[in-house]
Amino acid sequence: MAVKTTAALSARSSAKARARPILRRLARAYPDHGPTLEFSTPLDLLVATILAAQARDERINEVTRTLFRKYRTARDYVRVPQSTLEREIRSTGFFRQKAKAVKAMSQGVVERFGGEVPRDMDALTSLHGVGRKTASVVLGAAFGAPAIAVDRHVARVAVRLGLSKAAGPERIEEDLRKLYPPRDWYEVTWTLVFHGRRTCTPTPECPRCPVRELCPYPRKTR
């Protein structure tokens, strides 16, 4: 038990020492980091994030450029017939489930929050179809609140970089929160997202990785 504890402390110490340099390098490598879903209001971003499940952000933006001109409030989404909304978001995939989720979420916003998207994690995740990742995206990007959103890219990159050894998103989020102060959480989220999308993909592009020297991943590509 003592050996295991010592090893865990050593790993944490190593991650702590590398965390700041990693973030600095990634921020320089991806100066355009930030949400790639287009939005004007917190409701826009909440809807777009729900629609973005298993779809490319570019496709979602094509759909929401029209959608957001038509539906400006949560009440608008509540009033629209299910079949109409399904037709309008069909190209996002899984459109029936997504239309139901958007309408149910909007119903909750109207009935329990007076039509305004709430600004805290517990309230957001109480809405239908809104998990911790979606809530964190909205909190950080729409409200400027400290939040780390762990999607598949953040999870993959955090583990490969040795910033977390956890398997689940909530545990990975917890590890990242321990390594970085709240003022950095927005940047942590989006630099890891961009790194996972552009370089540290499922088959990583290690030769052009800006943090290669800081990465303990044992299966680097050449």
Say what the pLDDT of residue 156 is: 98
Structure tokens at 16: 């702590």
Say what the pLDDT of residue 6 is: 40
Count CB atoms within 10 A of the CB of residue 36.
Answer: 17
Q: Give me the domains of the chain, ranges plus CATH numbers.
A: 10-34+147-214 (1.10.1670.10), 42-142 (1.10.340.30)
Structure tokens at 211: 């943090």
Say what the pLDDT of residue 53 is: 92
Cα distances (Å, whole numbers) of residue 195 to 22, 97, 118, 153: 11, 30, 30, 8
Q: Are 109 and 68 in contact (CB under 8 A)?
A: no
- What is the DSSP secondary structure assignment for residue 91, as one 8-state letter? G
Separation of alpha carbons 145 and 162, rounded Å: 26
Helix (H/G/I), strand (E/B), else coil: 74: helix
pTM, rounded to two decimals: 0.90
Say what the pLDDT of residue 12 is: 55
Say what the pLDDT of residue 5 is: 43
Q: Are 78 and 110 in contact (CB under 8 A)?
A: yes
Helix (H/G/I), strand (E/B), else coil: 214: helix
For 53-69, give the secondary structure using H, E and C: CCCCHHHHHHHHHHHHH
pLDDT tens figures, 46-61: 999 999 999 999 999 9
Residues of the chain where predicted confidence (pLDDT) is lower than 70: 1-13
Catalytic residue list = 133, 151
